[in-house]
Structure formats: structure tokens, C-alpha cells
Amino acid sequence: MIRSSNSGCFGFVASSLVLAALAFAATPAAAQKALQKVKLGQVTSTSLTFAPVFAAQELGFFEEEGIELEHLNFKGGSVLQPQIASKQVTFGFTAVETVILSRQPGKDPLPLVFFYNAARGSIWETVVLDSSPIKTLADLKGKKIGIGATANANVPLTRAMLHDIGLEMTKDYSFLPIGVGAPAFRAMTNGDADAYNTFDSNIATFETTGTKLRTLDIPQKYKNLFSNGFVAHQDTLRENPKLVIGFGRAFTKGVIVCEANPEFCVTNFWKHNPTAKPKAANEQDVLKAGLHILHSRMKSYTYFPGGTKREFGAYPDNVWRDYVEILFAGGELSTKDIDLKPIYSNQFVKDFNDFDVVAIQKKAKQLK
């Protein structure tokens, strides 16, 4: 059948419109609206500590909130936080010490607000090789303590902890930046560093190499401190609360998924970060190691001590005061008169937890 050029053109256009309509109808509602790009910064390279984030990405939780993530890595909180303060990074996952210190007299306060308490217990530990003669923190006198970087936000807290027992930096011990991962592990096994002050999942990764480690006991007041949380510029909370709420809710769903189905979260993390997957002949051994690393951080993400309401993202007011007391006693703060109100917010906690938890758990358990 021969058509005129006009009718052929009309048929082509009509067909195109039908196809476009069908494509649109098949597109998820979240994808039909423009997504807002969110630059998410970390204080080190991406690891299984972010498995809940990648689970939330894979399952479309961020997309449902109108968010598209861009991951950025930095070397320490003191490097990341100025990037958030200058609005080059939207949200950061970091510790609180640097922001507290910026609020003392004579300093330029960072215009940052911690809006989501993620690692609800302390993630920082000091470890030594099991064969080391070092048994207590006091035995660190005259030793080199490995740290990830001098810009790490936990460094002031560690200095304060050692100050408590009469040890002063330079005079009694020194910090040695050795990074994280394989280079740091070599520095420890080679004896370049006598001890390693680092975070939970990095220690767990070290343990998966077969190296036996011992953790030095720390005072209880330090164990009770929350660690990394999500922080944003104060303008972001004021001008775009919907974005903050959406991000926090998506992350919370990711935590629920990883709690219910850790195997999915490990394998999904490697799917998104294939170079992070260890090379080994036995897949079961690789998965076992991954689960060990993830579990080390999930303990903090889901830490709700006796009687505490299971409310993700919430900051306990008293622990902020504990931080100030500890940093002041350790000589890191010039005064205890620190106004903490501008530094953190619990205003969106109800929204972060506003979803059907049972439905997410059920969905998670069906994932493979």
C-alpha cells in the first residue's frame, strides 16, 4: 500500500506519540520528575559502612524522595566540613568534634548543623597487634600511634582521652598518619606504628586479613559518645527541609534493610563498588568477611541502650554536653560555655521515621 508523503509523516508522528505515551506510562513516577542532585561527602574512601546508603539507592528510596546522589571522598572531617560550609557539598558524614571546637571564643564558627545521628555509639578504638607488650592506654607513653589523617575529627578526642591519663602529644607520644586499609595495616604489621587509633569497620577489615588484634580499653564516658552523623549547612535546613527529610528517611530505610538482610547489603555494596570487593577463590569466605565488616558498623547504627526509644536520627542532648565536658577537661576547649543549640537539630526525626517499618523489613527479607 502506497501512502503519500504527508500521510506517511502523519503516521510516523502518531506512532511516535503512542510510543512516547507508552514509555511515559511505564516510567516510575519518581523518575518522571526531575531529581535533585545531592553531593554526599565522606571523610575517607567508600566502604561497607555505607552499605545502607547503597541499599537505599538500589531499592529506589532516594529516588522516591526526589534525590540523586553523587558520592565524594575526603581525607578527614577537617577537610570535608569546610566544603559543606562553602556549600560545595550538600551533606557530609563526619564526626562532631571539629564543629564544637569552632564554637569557642576566638574561632570562626562553622555554619553547620548535624541533623541525623547515624553512628549512635562510639566507632573509635585503639588497637595493637595481639603480640604487642602494650596492654593499656598508659603503655602508649613513648609510642607512635597510627591515625588515618591529622584532619580526622576524632584526633582532638583522642588527645583529650590521653590527656586524662597524663599523656601529652609530642612530649609523651606522637601521631603517625598511616591512612586506612592496606597501607595502614602494613604500617602496623611492619612496626612503623605501635598502635592504631581508627574506626570500627576499618578494624574489622584489618581482622579479615587474619591478623590478630587487641583493643585497648577506654573509659566508659568515651564509649557512650555517638560518632559520625549527617551534617548540612544551616541554610539547607532552613531553605530545603524537604530535601533533608527525604535524605534522612531514605537512609533510615537503608539501615532497616541492612539489619533485616545483611547479605543483600554486602553483595549490593560490591555491585555498586566492584573494586572494593576482595579477590578470593572462595566466595563464601569473601561474604563472611564482608558480613563481619558490616556488622561492626551496624552495631552503632542500631545502638539503642536499654529503654531508649528506637528513633533513628535522634541526638541525645546530654551526650552533646558530655562532649563539651570531655574536650574542655582534655584541654581542647578554652571554655565549657559553648552554645550547642546551633550545632544540631532533632526537628526532622519524626519525619525520618515516618514509614511502614514492617513493610520495609518484609521487602528486605525477600531480597537476594
pLDDT for 181-216, tens place per residue?
999 999 999 999 999 999 999 999 999 999 999 999
Superfamily name and number for 124-223: Periplasmic binding protein-like II (3.40.190.10)
- Indicate left, alpha or beta for 36 from its phi (over 0: left) and psi (-120 to 50: alpha): beta
* Alpha-carbon distances of 262 from 42, 230, 365, rounded to whole Å: 22, 22, 9
pLDDT tens column, 282-323:
899 999 999 999 999 999 999 998 878 999 999 999 999 999
Domain-by-domain residue ranges, the chain?
Answer: 32-121+226-365, 124-223
pLDDT tens column, 226-260:
999 999 999 999 999 999 999 999 999 999 999 99
Same fold, 32-121+226-365 and 124-223: yes
Asked if CATH classification 3.40.190.10 holds for the domain at 32-121+226-365, the reply, yes or no, is yes
Return d(Cα 277, Cα 115) in angstroms, integer: 31
Give the DSSP H or E segment for 246. Answer: helix 241-260
Return d(Cα 101, Cα 322) in angstroms, integer: 14
Task: Say yes or no to pLDDT of 2 above 60.
Answer: no
Beginning with the edge strand found earlier in the chain, give each strand of the sheet holding 229-233 in spatial order: 67-73, 36-42, 91-94, 229-233, 112-117
Longest dimension (CA), the chain: 96
For residue 147, what are the β-bridge partners?
177
- Pair 121, 300: CB distance under 8 Å: yes
pLDDT at residue 32, as a whole number: 56
